[in-house]
Amino acid sequence: MKFYKVQASGNDFIVMLEGEAPDKSRRADYAKKLCERKLSIGADGFLVLDKKSDNDLHWDFYNSDGSTAEMCGNASRAVAKLFIEKLGGKSPVNLTTGGGITEIEVVNQLYSVKMPICQFVAEESQGNVWNTGVPHYVFEKKFDIKDEAIKEFCRENRFPNCLNDKGANVSLWYKKQDQFFAVSFERGVEDFTLACGTGAAACGLDILKRHSDLGDSIRLQLPGGQVNIRKTNDSVYLIGDAEIIFEGKVD
């Protein structure tokens, strides 16, 4: 079976095409097997793409533990690049995800993702809960992603009171001088990733809510690179680059 390895801001994915991928009933197991680092290809997620037209694409998305996710902003950028450069797709790309339809457009060689859902959910005791396609419990908190105490803090806050038993991703941000740093502890991965698009959007919205003097856009430094978050009256955009790393075959 042919696969592609892609990444956006260090958030990496294994991608197969419908018709060449395992049956749907076997995909969760394949995700766990193929995404395991050091023992397999290794990735944060596994996706199966179904091309409907030159501008329309559907995906079937699995986290590295085999669970599903409604939306992933970085994967949206990465598969849009793959779709356009390898599969005959054209910009703008209308991508159907579990969280709705999102539009990805190439702007100045960057990929701009119109997030399908971006809304404030609730204020909890320590932070705010946002839904940016998937839920994020957002805290203003300085972090070191190698610090076990920070990881334990995220594990303890995976289940805010306002959500169901699937819980939320936990996203952290802080300001140092004039720069904002952000990171996400992702459910389904149960660890920090180098980047999380929906988490970046949630942190960006949280920062703009707390710092109205910043206007309608902000640049975030993630462990895997920089992204821009831009807010309009009715939409939120995640903007950054993407890369096709390599392609190969697997049994």
Question: Residue 59: which of 69, 67, 198 has the closest Cα?
Answer: 69
What percent of the chain is predicted at pLDDT more than 90? 89
Q: Are 44 and 13 in contact (CB under 8 A)?
A: yes
3-state SS class at 130:
strand
Residue spans in the chain of domains classed CATH 3.10.310.10: 2-114+240-249, 119-237
Query: What CATH code is assigned to 2-114+240-249?
Result: 3.10.310.10
As to burial, measured by CB atoms within 10 angstroms (0-12 exposed, 13-18 middle, 19+ buried), residue 13 is: buried
Residue 164 has pLDDT above 80, yes or no: no
Cβ-contact 169, 137 below 8 angstroms: yes
Residue of 238, 243, 246, 245 lying closest to 107 (CA atoms): 238
Task: Output the pTM of the full model.
Answer: 0.91
Q: What is the pLDDT of residue 166?
A: 80
Q: What is the pLDDT of residues 168-205, one digit of tens each?
A: 999 999 999 999 999 999 998 899 999 999 999 999 99
Q: Please give the pLDDT value at position 116.
A: 82
Q: What is the pLDDT of residues 15-65, one digit of tens each?
A: 999 999 999 999 999 999 999 999 999 999 999 999 999 999 999 999 999
Token duo for residue 229 = 């978050």
Q: Within 10 A of 213 (CB to CB), how many other CB atoms are there?
A: 5
What is the architecture, at CATH level 2, of domain 119-237? Roll (3.10)
- At 59, the amino acid letter reads W
81-92 pLDDT, tens per residue? 999 999 999 999
Report pLDDT for 233: 87
Is residue 217 within 8 A of residue 228, CB to CB? The reply is: yes
pLDDT at residue 59, rounded to an integer? 97
Task: Give 155's DSSP letter.
Answer: H
The rounded percent of the chain whose pLDDT value lies above 70 is: 100
Positions annotated as catalytic residues are 72, 196
